[in-house]
Amino acid sequence: CASGEEYDAVLSFWDPLKADPKSYGEIVLQRLFETKPDSQKLFPKFTALSKEQLQNNPDLQAHGGIVVCKLTEFMQGGGRDKKTLKDLAESHAKQHKIPRIYFQIISDVIFEVVVEKIEGFGTDAQTALKNVLKTFQTQMGEFYDELGFDD
Ligand code: HE5
């Protein structure tokens, strides 16, 4: 599990994402679809759209914003807010049918985008972010296990 100091270290660089979740979320989802084209099929709203149609797409921006806001909420809770993750695991397992591997895949994309776009995100903050995202994936996995969702 990531330590409290690690959540603080990440949050000390997180202001740009808090200020503009849609823009960062848009980049994350576009990068996700580029690096893992299969992932696009998991989104009924986006599955049929071309790369061009995913540019400046208000739905994609809105959903990207939602994803970044949830992640911010998780970090601000210092990993102790189980309700947020439990609700997230339930909707992703039962409603959206997202195999758990995608939490790792999107975490890797988030890491890449954050390090690339956020000024001053040094090695210590990078290690902290890796550990925080790892904790996120692990806890989502534990809720998936509880729900009996095997994928
Ligand atoms: O669960 C919800 O609210 C608690 C519904 C809205 C929501 C979705 C839907 C939220 C808050 C998140 N996602 C958040 C989130 C954080 C992690 C990093 N997601 Zn989510 N998702 C939703 C992730 C990770 C993740 C990986 C993948 C492949 N997510 C997805 C996919 C996904 C899908 C298909 C949906 C359904 C809504 C939709 O299609 O929106 C356009």
Q: What is the DSSP string of 25-45?
A: HHHHHHHHHHH-GGGGGG-TT
Is there a contact between 74 and 138 (Cβ–Cβ < 8 Å)? no
Does the model's ipTM exceed the 0.90 cut? yes
Token couple for 129: 């972010």
3-class DSSP state of 127: helix
Identify the residue whose C-alpha is closest to ligand 1 atom 40. Answer: 63
Within 6 A (CB) of ligand 1 lie 39, 42-45, 63, 66-67, 70-71, 87-88, 91-92, 96, 98, 102-103, 106
pLDDT tens digits for range 56-115: 999 999 999 999 999 999 999 998 889 999 999 999 999 999 999 999 999 999 999 999
Closest residue by Cα to residue 14 from 93, 85, 73, 54: 73
Identify the residue whose C-alpha is closest to ligand 1 atom 17. Answer: 67
pLDDT tens digits for range 7-23: 999 999 999 999 999 99
Mean pLDDT, the chain, whole residue set: 96
Q: CA 133, 46, 146: angle at the middle one, nearest 5?
A: 40
